[in-house]
Amino acid sequence: MIKIKPVPINEIIKVFGQPGEQRDFVKRVFPFPLRLSYDKTAVAYNFYGHKYIADAVIEAFEDIREYYGLSFIKGYNLDIYGGCFADRMTVSGKRKSVHAWGLAIDYLPDMGAYNKPSTIPYHIVKAFTDRGFVWGGDWQSKDGMHFSAIEE
């Protein structure tokens, strides 16, 4: 099992460079198609983000596919992807989002909306946290869809 080591937020620039540069980004094929949260008729076949998390992300999705099966995933809308790279500020607007480095993904935003209790199934959260990701559902200001390589 691939396991990443989360980096403290105050070291993100030292370790990964400036946000938005897309340096060290890779593309990987998802193990199953994911519908986009903002247009559920559109499908993502590839992950695009920092190489530091890419293989762990794909392995987590492989685990999810193996555990649930494709029909269950589709039947229960567990195929909704919010994305990885987005050169933007955090919701508070105080700093750049970890997404600007391609070091976080949003998965199942309808089940893990910001500042709402998460209904994301346990095994999905575990698929990411077992690989070292920090889960936003554990934060004081809940962000259940958010899985990150950065400790905030």
For residue 115, what is the domain's CATH number? 3.30.1380
**Residue 23 above 90 pLDDT?**
no
Ramachandran class of 136: left when φ > 0, alpha when ψ lies in -120 to 50, beta otherwise: alpha
- 52 within a domain of the structure (yes/no): yes
Nearest Cα neighbor of 14 from 131, 146, 150 is: 150
Q: In this predicted model, what pLDDT tens digit does every residue of 98-148 receive, in sequence order?
A: 999 999 999 999 999 999 999 999 999 999 999 999 999 999 999 999 999
- 11 within a domain of the structure (yes/no): no
**Residue 91 above 90 pLDDT?**
no
The pLDDT value given to residue 92: 83
CA-to-CA distance for 86 and 84, rounded, in angstroms?
A: 6
- 4 within a domain of the structure (yes/no): no
Per-residue pLDDT band for 152 (boundaries 50, 70, 90) equals confident
- 18 within a domain of the structure (yes/no): no
- 16 within a domain of the structure (yes/no): no
**Residue 54 above 90 pLDDT?**
yes
Query: Range of 122's domain?
Result: 24-151
Q: How many domains does the chain have?
A: 1
- 73 within a domain of the structure (yes/no): yes
